[in-house]
């Protein structure tokens, strides 16, 4: 099954089984935030599409799904941070870090320069989203500082992603009613 077919199947399932929307969103956001997984499986697009379903259906609770997305994203980042913190020597030898040996030192200087804001910046940058927490752990960023940035940026990220889709869904519903489609 290709990525588009998988995304379509997930969206159809959520549309038909709305009670499962929050757990599915949690899993997608968790996967989107795991180190290296989001490079292979970009789930953010499915999350925006689920936001569209929220706006179009009127049956899905935006805040429940937003909390599920935020918690999934924060826990995924937390796990990636933990991997980096405990396995930083081994991770430096794995792809893609092994191909770019200067990446960890650059990551350290990135964190030194931006502090906790590096986590927020990384959350909103597709290629960096899942690798920034891993590097934060590998360069030994203090956990309280990481967690504050992690959880607050996860809620902001979930809101932005879902509200974009929600607005599109509400606009489509309005246009359909307005123009009798």
- List the chain pLDDT tens, one digit each, 181 residues: 576 676 677 767 777 777 888 898 898 889 888 877 766 666 666 666 666 666 556 666 778 888 999 999 999 999 999 999 998 888 778 776 777 777 777 777 888 888 889 998 888 876 677 678 988 998 889 999 999 999 999 999 898 887 776 556 556 666 666 776 6
Give whole-number Cα distances, 137 to 58, 63, 102, 110, 111, in Å.
40, 30, 16, 13, 11
Give whole-number Cα distances, 152 to 24, 123, 161, in Å.
21, 10, 14
CB 132 within 8 A of CB 122: yes
């Amino acid at each position: 099954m290709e990525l588009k077919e998988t995304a379509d199947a997930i969206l159809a399932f959520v549309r038909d089984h709305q009670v499962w929307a929050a757990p599915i969103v949690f899993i997608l956001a968790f996967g989107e935030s795991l180190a290296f997984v989001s490079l292979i499986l970009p789930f953010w697009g499915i999350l925006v599409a689920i936001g569209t379903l929220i706006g179009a259906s009127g049956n899905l609770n935006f805040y429940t799904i937003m909390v599920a997305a935020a918690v999934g994203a924060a826990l995924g980042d937390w796990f990636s941070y933990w991997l980096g913190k405990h396995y930083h020597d081994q991770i430096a030898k794995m792809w893609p870090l092994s191909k770019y040996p200067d990446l960890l030192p650059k990551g350290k200087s990135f964190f030194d320069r931006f502090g906790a804001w590096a986590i927020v910046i990384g959350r909103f940058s597709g290629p960096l989203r899942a690798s920034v927490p891993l590097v934060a752990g590998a360069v030994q960023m203090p956990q309280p500082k990481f967690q504050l940035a992690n959880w607050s940026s996860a809620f902001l990220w979930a809101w932005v992603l879902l509200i974009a889709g929600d607005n599109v869904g509400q606009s489509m519903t309005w246009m359909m009613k307005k123009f009798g489609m």
